[in-house]
Structure 1
């Protein structure tokens, strides 16, 4: 595998656009330089390009190389900590403001797919599945909470009703979100890249940012070039590395694993997911799954802390899949991969500005809810750069805490927490 290769995922094998963009060489000018060609970076680039900004995007490897091109491909609303948590910890005003934005990311995705004709197998409908009575009660509370904040497309499903959506006896109930959905994430991010390019934006692959120079005009250096811009947007998330030390200290990369089966017959597909909707369960270390556009089961779950690469992904995920769908025992797994998301201590995204001139913006740390929140981030980042920073500053006002004990202790502390919550999941408490 070359340095510019995607991971060995089903998404990479079925990508619509396999072109490699050239690396940056020499000096270029831009209104905005964006570091990272994932959902955050490209949503920002696209929203800015639509307003006439000259945008340059620097990608260390390939477009969608990180979480944006490896995730479960599900439209799941709100944040990793829901709106009630935000209200309790940061006040009703902040909760109301973030609640008003909690369902916007999915709408942005659908708007971009429609406006730019992006082919990414977008399908409607998502399900939160309760593994026990306690979780089903929490889903009832979630329904009331989301409806309070203006999201009406929800339906509670009884244990018997779930069977018409999911071919398993594992669940005691579910919440159907009709405005949820699923799609091919790498094809979405590649489609967004093409949309940026269609409006004059330039994306350089194989161009890692190695140094940022602050100033009234900011400069981003790569191994063979430099971008001078009025603003920088740092959107490297779990793959940023040491470029901005402050950002690395405030969050931790975590890995999740995904497998994809061989293509299933139409009868098998109807047996597993008769309504062709995506599912995630309500456990802390949750399982998530859906059917691909060509009829494979994509199944993910588990967490490895500190972005370690698990030796055998199949050995971690296949038992989870078989617990849900035992009749897939003889089904072949064609693809298995892992990818990193960025976890924050409070499990809320981190937005802010760095530098004496406050012209270096960042958004990171979606803590497992990055698909929709990253698209929202691109919109509010774009607005902030244009001088409409009210919504951006709502996120930026949230406290950002380092992990206790610094970089050395954040992995063991978080792993101990995961063990505790996993035990609670198993005991149903």
Structure 2
């Protein structure tokens, strides 16, 4: 049986409920494959609309990226307003950009409505390492204000250093519509909400095959679900269940550590206002304090999601360079998690058949965008397809190099952009 990875989140989760394994035949309105944020958000929105939902999870609720990420509420997609307006026609770009803050709003409403204890903290910072990145943040602020976010503050070097205790940055952008959470506890709270509305969740129930049709059928090793609709929501952990989806994107690994608990004085030196931070590099680093005062720090990308020999060895030089006062501090937890990267860096929502849907490919922006995705999925199954179809209309191209060369080609491109970041060009 698959259990949670040995992460800080798994060790500090406030609900250890064991969901049953599917060992019977069920009939439902919607069968959802995957109990990460995509699946849970979809199930909760659907259950609120009166749909009978069954969620099938191969391991544990929140087992994948949902329970392993940096826990940051970062608005927009992996491609922001400027790129979207250059790439797509005016109507499509307008529709996409009008939704960039909705995921974060959904998270906050879920926390309030269902009393989910997940250490929510307001305030997220984008930190610039050079003048070019500062110009980019000024443009981002103007673009986001055009679409209704008026809780943004551009910080110069001195202003930023009062909130983040390092001299590494030239300045930053504070987004008070951003923030941070304990993502696994958010997922577990959403799962409880689904159960309260009559939904069903099964763990250790990997799907082995499915058959399209009206109704569709979904088979696990010991059970069967017959459903009017099926949603694929496995993302980087879907495997080869549906090659049409696994061929659309590549898996990437990211690494995270959590230090031992730090003194309150040291926490004030590092992050005086308890903001979360991500830098503006192509291969970015991100960090924040946890509720029990650890520094949780992540960064780096492993294309193809191959395991590293030592996660701590990869991450420690990063946080010690930013905060020399942490030199030698103990790392209590170190883990990796996989996310799904698309060629366009835009999420992939669509249909495989008239009643077979999928949500995937958030390219590192999954915490907020998955919550938007679930709302759109519930809309389309309620005969309100307009917003879902904005995403479904986007073209998604395979990575160059085919199955065998797409990972090294992508890594080579990352080297190029990483060099540009270091040179500030």
Counterpart of 2:404 (choices 408, 416, 420) is: 408
Offset of residue 71 of structure 1 = 0.3
Q: In structure 1, what is the equivalent of residue 345 of structure 2?
A: 347
Are residues 1:424 and 2:403 paired? no
Q: What pairs with 1:72-111 in structure 2 (closer than 5 Å)? A: 72-111=70-109
Conserved 8 A contact 2:64-2:337: yes
Q: In structure 2, what is the equivalent of residue 367 of structure 1?
A: 363
Counterpart of 1:154 (choices 152, 155, 180) is: 152
Q: In structure 2, what is the equivalent of residue 211 of structure 1?
A: 209
Offset of residue 75 of structure 1 = 0.5
Offset of residue 405 of structure 1 = 2.4
Structure 1: how far apart are the matches of 2:23 and 2:368? 33
Q: In structure 1, what is the equivalent of residue 233 of structure 2?
A: 235
Are residues 1:190 and 2:193 paired? no
Q: What pairs with 1:129-140 in structure 2 (closer than 5 Å)? A: 129-140=127-138
Counterpart of 2:253 (choices 252, 255, 258) is: 255
Q: Where has structure 1 moved over 2 Å in runs of 4 or more?
A: none
Equivalent position SS for 1:163 = helix
Structure 2: how far apart are the matches of 1:347 and 1:235? 17
Structure 1: how far apart are the matches of 2:150 and 2:413? 34
Offset of residue 92 of structure 1 = 1.5
Q: In structure 1, what is the equivalent of residue 325 of structure 2?
A: 327
Structure 2: how far apart are the matches of 1:271 and 1:22? 45
Conserved 8 A contact 1:348-1:367: yes
Residues 153-174 of structure 1 deviation map (CA, whole Å, 9 limit, x = unaligned)? 1010001100111000000010
Structure 1: how far apart are the matches of 2:130 and 2:169? 7
Task: Provide the aligned C-alpha RMSD in A.
Answer: 0.7
Equivalent position SS for 1:210 = strand
Q: In structure 2, what is the equivalent of residue 7 of structure 1?
A: 5
Residues 279-338 of structure 1 deviation map (CA, whole Å, 9 limit, x = unaligned)? 000000001000001110000000001011111000000001111111100211000000
Q: What pairs with 1:360-399 in structure 2 (closer than 5 Å)? A: 360-399=356-395
Equivalent position SS for 2:268 = helix
Equivalent position SS for 1:164 = helix
Structure 1: how far apart are the matches of 2:249 and 2:99? 23
Q: In structure 2, what is the equivalent of residue 275 of structure 1?
A: 273
Offset of residue 4 of structure 1 = 2.1
Structure 2: how far apart are the matches of 1:17 and 1:227? 27
Offset of residue 122 of structure 1 = 0.3
Equivalent position SS for 2:218 = strand
Aligned length: 425
Q: In structure 1, what is the equivalent of residue 28 of structure 2?
A: 30
Offset of residue 403 of structure 1 = 1.3
Conserved 8 A contact 2:2-2:204: yes
Counterpart of 1:305 (choices 271, 281, 303) is: 303
TM-score under structure 2 normalisation?
0.99
Offset of residue 213 of structure 1 = 0.3
Offset of residue 148 of structure 1 = 1.1
Offset of residue 426 of structure 1 = 1.1
TM-score under structure 1 normalisation?
0.98
Conserved 8 A contact 1:33-1:233: yes
Structure 2: how far apart are the matches of 1:209 and 1:128? 39
Conserved 8 A contact 2:149-2:177: no
Structure 2: how far apart are the matches of 1:405 and 1:265? 49
Residues 39-96 of structure 1 deviation map (CA, whole Å, 9 limit, x = unaligned)? 0100000001111110000000000000000000000000001122111111121111
Structure 1: how far apart are the matches of 2:254 and 2:202? 27
